Structure 1
Amino acid sequence: MKLPFVPPLRLYSPFWQNVLMGAIVGLTAGLYQSLTSLGAGGLRANSAHTVEVVNATLCATWFAASLVSGTILNLVGPSWTAALGVFGYAFYVAGLWYFDATGQAWFPIVGGVLIGISAGLIFVVMGAIAMSYSEEDERGSYITISQNLQALGAAIAGFIDLMINKNRASADGVPIAVYIIVLAFMGVGAALSFFLQPPAKVTREDGTPVATMAMQGRTVREELKASWDAIKNWDLLLMIPAFLPSECFLVYGGSANAFRNNLRTRTLLSFVAVVLQMPAAYGLKLVLDHAAWKRRTRALIGLALVGTPLIAAWIWQMVEVRHYDRSVPTPADALVDWTDRGFVSDFFLFTLTWVASILFQYIILYFLSCMTNSPRKAANYAGVYRSFLAAGEAIVFGIDSAGVSFLNMAAILFAFYTAGVFIFLYLALFHITETQYFTGEDDVVIPQHILEAHEVAGQGVDEETKGEAEGSVKA
């Protein structure tokens, strides 16, 4: 039976374009997680040094690439931008395979540069499509679909990890078959990239395009200026403390998890956390798209549902790790197994931290989507967000590699997450408006049913905007 909220399968549908992009990210960034948790590139004597170099180059290029990825997306379109993003992931996976086989570090180091660029490209495309192809009453749905498809890829990868590691206490490398399977799926993702369509060709179910032809024709200089203008946006600058920690929980959680738990326990925790993320995100979507509530109400309730457990999780983290001594590595026979009594509390803490922290990314994208309906601006905003996300992750990588205590790391992340929650509370109370359609942006087309609703309500629409909208529908 066909679900009522799913439109007919159509290449130029904004809904299916969003699904397609989510699937592409799931086949790249999602599957990539399986290799890192299996210990890809960790079989050589120089592995630790190589990983440090790769992480440094990855984060540096990710930060820089994300800043200009919105410009690249607006210049060459989503298809080529996503395809280039997939290529970097595949190159990096091949580099890890080569390093495990030969011990030569140049391939994964070059791959670290390329995957940093690719992460900037591919996530900016995903964020821009989710934010700007959707209508205002379905932003939560689009964000949830694309993010959950990425999580589905990670869950599939996690299941592969779990099956391989269920009887293993420590990593001993990645089977060649896993490398081949992951690269094959990334090839599928690259092929799917060429079905992505530019905003001017994507039309909603009522025939309205998501953007006008004004989307085309900007020069490189104009695009770079637009990116700079986005960075100077006061609301966006205010969000930076929320952007910085939004993916740092992966670095902290992976390090603390490895300090306390054995391999199969770590694998189980990561798999279950990703699986739980998906229904939790769907519940958040029901709030963010609740038709009976105003947008400010949805934003406030969604923020409360995510922010409260998020702050609680990081307080619990500080209590839990206050006695961890990183200068004394945990002996292998003392690591927690899933059959031990201490596993239950670890399970609830890890999954609560993961789900609350990852849902904070959904909240960030929702608040960004409330700032504009313009595909151009959405691309630039997504680029700024991903850039500072990468910067935050790079900082935490550095803190972690320096051996800073888990308590101090948790305290830093608690401070930033708490600041982010209160920043979004301020924005929800004083900056979120009910619509962004009537702001005069030159690439936004008003859907016909939105236009009619405002006419019925007696709300003013200037004649130029109204004519443009009606003309685009007739066309």
Structure 2
Amino acid sequence: MSGMVVTQHRELDRQEETSQPAKQHGILRYNSPLAQVFLIGLVCFCCPGMFNALTGLGGGGQLNHTTVDNANTVLYACFAIFGVLGGAAYNLLGPRRTLLVGALTYPLYATSFLYYNHHGSEVFPIVAGGILGIGAALLWAAQGAIVTSYPPLNRRGSYISLFWCLYNLGGVLGGLFPFSFNYHRGDKPDSVNDGTYIAFIAFMVFGAALSLFILPPTEIVRDDGSKATRFIYSSLAIESTEILRLFTNWKMLLVLPAAWDSNFFYTYQFNNVNGVLFTLRTQGLNNIFYWGARMIGSVSIGYLLDFGFTSRRKRGLVGVVVVAVLGSAIWGGGLANQLKYKDGKWDNLIDFKDGRRYAGPFLLFFSYGLLDAMFQSLVYWIIGALANDSQVLSSFIEADKKGGNAL
């Protein structure tokens, strides 16, 4: 995390730059904010996106959810502890190395469940979960800094939506793996087969390799010729001091309740809704539409936040109201569905071929995904409005992630 004094100097330096920088052309220009946001979207498509598809199965595709619950408990505990350090790591290492180290922990986690399928020992999944918690803190610090600081101010919502679409496309494609590989297993309760985990691992390794193509922040130039950010590598002493100052920003403190609320519900939605109500193959199908709904939600709220009104303040307030009303309605439907459980269990599993019996629970799960993306995109947009410097934003994003944001 960068210090406020250092940030002020950077802002002064920025003001002293040439007032009329040379314009840049070319939609596919590699050092443009659009290309770099697209690239970070591909990394997250392959790593967190596939992780989401895996966890979205309910119990990580395992018949026994206890091992996955234990692994995820360790995962999020480490994420909460190391989350605040993610911004510091970004400022010390830069985006490329921070992303690479973080991304490599995702295939390790998926490999642990392939191992569990054969040996039944939960030690590897739990250890891998803890390592992933640390790696996710690094990856999301770099991702947050890139997505919120590189775009032009009047297109920030659109760039955030582009990222979320690419990221959630990973969940959509990842949902095809268990649906296709386990289709003929019908409504038999079972764990997913080895081919499902191998497909996840392959994509995650590829995503980690893509992180090597991320450019240094100082090389990113917007279309108007201005630098996206003036990144300066920090020192351990500065980062240690400034971590303590992070939560003295009253605006960031106001965002913390939203950070807490952002994704704490994942375990419930995946394990106790998708994992309890539906057959194994239907869980994979639901995953496709859940992450597809997130793409729709992120595009919708992104358009509203960028183009809905001339006043940025008014756009933000309307976005908050829309998400609040929609969220209340969807969670009201979730409560109605929960009241149908018997002692926390669902007697007769629902298959996608069950017609009207499937329609209601499917619509609820789809709506959960829609709301999730709209809420998170709104929070990103608000955090992006607090500062323009990537080093400050990397720390703000990690403070947000400590609340339990998506991996």
* TM-score of the pair, normalised by structure 1: 0.74
User: Which residue of the partner structure matches residue 116 of structure 1?
Assistant: 133
Q: Please say if 1:177 is aligned against 2:192.
A: no
Report the CA distance shift for 1:296/1:186 in structure 2 as closer, same or farther (over 3 A).
same
Whether the 8 Å CA contact 1:155–1:275 is kept in 2: the answer is yes
User: Which residue of the partner structure matches residue 29 of structure 1?
Assistant: 48
Structure 2 Cα separation of the partners of residues 259 and 39 of structure 1: 10
User: Which residue of the partner structure matches residue 449 of structure 1?
Assistant: none
Structure 2 Cα separation of the partners of residues 365 and 58 of structure 1: 23
Q: Per-residue deviation at 1:283?
A: 2.3
Q: Please say if 1:241 is aligned against 2:257.
A: yes
Identity of aligned residues (%): 28
Q: Per-residue deviation at 1:316?
A: 1.9
User: Which residue of the partner structure matches residue 350 of structure 1?
Assistant: 365
Report the CA distance shift for 1:218/1:124 in structure 2 as closer, same or farther (over 3 A).
closer
Structure 2 Cα separation of the partners of residues 285 and 99 of structure 1: 40
Structure 1 Cα separation of the partners of residues 343 and 188 of structure 2: 19
1:78 to 95, 101, 104: 95
Q: Per-residue deviation at 1:179?
A: 2.9
Report the CA distance shift for 1:300/1:49 in structure 2 as closer, same or farther (over 3 A).
closer
User: Which residue of the partner structure matches residue 125 of structure 1?
Assistant: 142
Range that drifts further, 274-283 or 115-124: 274-283
| 3-state SS of 1:244 partner | helix
Structure 2 Cα separation of the partners of residues 221 and 42 of structure 1: 44
Whether the 8 Å CA contact 2:178–2:192 is kept in 1: the answer is no
The code of the aligned residue for 1:197 comes to L
The code of the aligned residue for 2:187 comes to A
User: Which residue of the partner structure matches residue 5 of structure 2?
Assistant: none
User: Which residue of the partner structure matches residue 210 of structure 2?
Assistant: 192
1:267 to 273, 278, 284: 284
- Equivalent positions of 1:52-201 (< 5 A) are 52-167=69-184, 168-201=186-219
2:33 to 2, 14, 35: 14
Q: Per-residue deviation at 1:122?
A: 1.3
Q: Per-residue deviation at 1:80?
A: 0.6
Q: Per-residue deviation at 1:299?
A: 1.1
The code of the aligned residue for 1:335 comes to L
Whether the 8 Å CA contact 2:293–2:369 is kept in 1: the answer is no
Structure 1 Cα separation of the partners of residues 26 and 241 of structure 2: 37
Whether the 8 Å CA contact 1:39–1:171 is kept in 2: the answer is no
1:42 to 53, 62, 86: 62
The code of the aligned residue for 1:42 comes to Q
Structure 2 Cα separation of the partners of residues 349 and 39 of structure 1: 19
Q: Please say if 1:308 is aligned against 2:320.
A: no
Q: Per-residue deviation at 1:99?
A: 1.9
| 3-state SS of 1:60 partner | helix
Whether the 8 Å CA contact 2:264–2:403 is kept in 1: the answer is no
Range that drifts further, 62-71 or 282-291: 282-291
The code of the aligned residue for 2:115 comes to Y
Report the CA distance shift for 1:313/1:151 in structure 2 as closer, same or farther (over 3 A).
same
1:104-131 alpha-carbon deviations (Å, 9 max, x no partner): 3332222111111122111221111111
Matched length: 379
Q: Per-residue deviation at 1:175?
A: 3.1
Q: Please say if 1:223 is aligned against 2:239.
A: yes
Structure 1 Cα separation of the partners of residues 282 and 179 of structure 2: 9
Task: Give structure 1 regions of 4+ aligned residues with deviation exceeding 4 angstroms.
Answer: 38-41
User: Which residue of the partner structure matches residue 385 of structure 1?
Assistant: 400
| 3-state SS of 2:68 partner | helix
Q: Per-residue deviation at 1:206?
A: 2.6
| 3-state SS of 2:180 partner | helix
Whether the 8 Å CA contact 1:24–1:192 is kept in 2: the answer is yes
User: Which residue of the partner structure matches residue 374 of structure 1?
Assistant: 389
Structure 1 Cα separation of the partners of residues 372 and 296 of structure 2: 15
Structure 2 Cα separation of the partners of residues 17 and 189 of structure 1: 14
Whether the 8 Å CA contact 2:45–2:171 is kept in 1: the answer is yes
Structure 2 Cα separation of the partners of residues 53 and 320 of structure 1: 26
Structure 2 Cα separation of the partners of residues 7 and 304 of structure 1: 38
Structure 2 Cα separation of the partners of residues 276 and 111 of structure 1: 29
1:255-288 alpha-carbon deviations (Å, 9 max, x no partner): 1333333333333222212213213322222211
Whether the 8 Å CA contact 1:7–1:15 is kept in 2: the answer is no
Report the CA distance shift for 1:389/1:257 in structure 2 as closer, same or farther (over 3 A).
same
Which of these two proteins has the greater Rg computed from alpha carbons? 1
Report the CA distance shift for 1:108/1:298 in structure 2 as closer, same or farther (over 3 A).
same
Whether the 8 Å CA contact 1:126–1:146 is kept in 2: the answer is no
Structure 2 Cα separation of the partners of residues 263 and 300 of structure 1: 41
Structure 1 Cα separation of the partners of residues 386 and 188 of structure 2: 47
Report the CA distance shift for 1:292/1:241 in structure 2 as closer, same or farther (over 3 A).
closer
Structure 1 Cα separation of the partners of residues 233 and 255 of structure 2: 31
1:387-437 alpha-carbon deviations (Å, 9 max, x no partner): 1225xx99xxxxxxxxxxxxxxxxxxxxxxxxxxxxxxxxxxxxxxxxxxx
Q: Per-residue deviation at 1:380?
A: 0.6
* TM-score of the pair, normalised by structure 2: 0.86
Whether the 8 Å CA contact 1:131–1:373 is kept in 2: the answer is yes
Structure 1 Cα separation of the partners of residues 199 and 175 of structure 2: 14
Q: Per-residue deviation at 1:143?
A: 0.9
Report the CA distance shift for 1:90/1:260 in structure 2 as closer, same or farther (over 3 A).
closer
| 3-state SS of 1:342 partner | helix
Q: Per-residue deviation at 1:203?
A: 1.3
User: Which residue of the partner structure matches residue 430 of structure 1?
Assistant: none
Whether the 8 Å CA contact 1:200–1:209 is kept in 2: the answer is yes
Structure 2 Cα separation of the partners of residues 48 and 40 of structure 1: 8
Structure 1 Cα separation of the partners of residues 62 and 247 of structure 2: 38
Structure 2 Cα separation of the partners of residues 245 and 256 of structure 1: 18
